[in-house]
């Protein structure tokens, strides 16, 4: 069988070293509370960006920070050939698509760096999205405010009905 590589040859595989990092929440800056300006009033609500279910707002967010890395990959054998794609096995037992292996460490590191940059960009988008969640808090505040004013109107009406009755009774 003709292979585009030789058994025993060493290539480089792009890898990413992940680290779970904790950052202050971009929406509440760690305070767990977001202050919304409603009319001329300042209203504080629990931060929805870092609210985790029953635990409520934590003031922090977690994300993966990736560091570019490359590992040597010495071909020990062929794992499979499918649709012209070679999957190879290394001396350490790892498998890889042959197209994902590079001749030099520098090439593999460059590919890894691109992947890490993509992850960082996705983290940034997610942080922006969380920051924008204050818009949702504004909606929450206006919703509750509307419910309160509706109920207040009802209380006023019901109270006036009782008082009207009282007045009638007294005049009888």
Question: CA 140 from chain center: how many Å?
Answer: 21
Interface residue list for Zn ion (CB under 5 A): 25, 27-28, 47, 49-50
Residue 13 vs 50, nearer CB to Zn ion: 50
Give min distance, CB of 71 to Zn ion, in A.
37
Residues 134-158, buried b or exposed e (16+ Cβ, 10 A)?
beebbebbeeeeeeeeeeeeeeeee
Give min distance, CB of 100 to Zn ion, in A.
38
Rounded Cα–Cα distance for residues 88 and 11 (Å): 11
Residue 50 vs 66, nearer CB to Zn ion: 50
Give min distance, CB of 27 to Zn ion, in A.
5
Token output for 119:
């992850």
Residue 47 vs 70, nearer CB to Zn ion: 47
Nearest to 33 by CA among 144, 141, 145: 141
Whether 66 contacts 119, CB under 8 Å: yes
Residue 112 vs 133, nearer CB to Zn ion: 133
């Amino acid at each position: 069988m003709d292979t585009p590589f030789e058994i025993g040859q060493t290539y480089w595989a792009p890898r990413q070293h992940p680290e779970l990092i904790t950052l202050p929440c971009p929406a509440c800056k760690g305070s767990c509370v977001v202050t919304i300006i409603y009319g001329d009033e300042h209203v504080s609500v629990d931060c929805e960006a870092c609210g985790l279910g029953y635990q409520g707002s934590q003031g922090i967010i977690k994300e993966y920070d990736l560091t570019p890395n490359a590992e040597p990959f010495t071909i020990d054998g062929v794992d499979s050939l499918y649709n012209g794609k070679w999957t190879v096995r290394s001396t350490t037992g790892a498998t890889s698509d042959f197209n994902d292996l590079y001749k030099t460490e520098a090439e593999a590191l460059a590919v890894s760096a691109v992947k890490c940059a993509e992850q960082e960009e996705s983290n940034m988008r997610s942080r922006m999205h969380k920051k924008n969640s204050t818009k949702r808090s504004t909606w929450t505040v206006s919703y509750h405010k509307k419910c309160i004013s509706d109920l207040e109107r009802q209380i006023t009406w019901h109270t006036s009905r009782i008082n009207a009755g009282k007045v009638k009774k007294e005049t009888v």
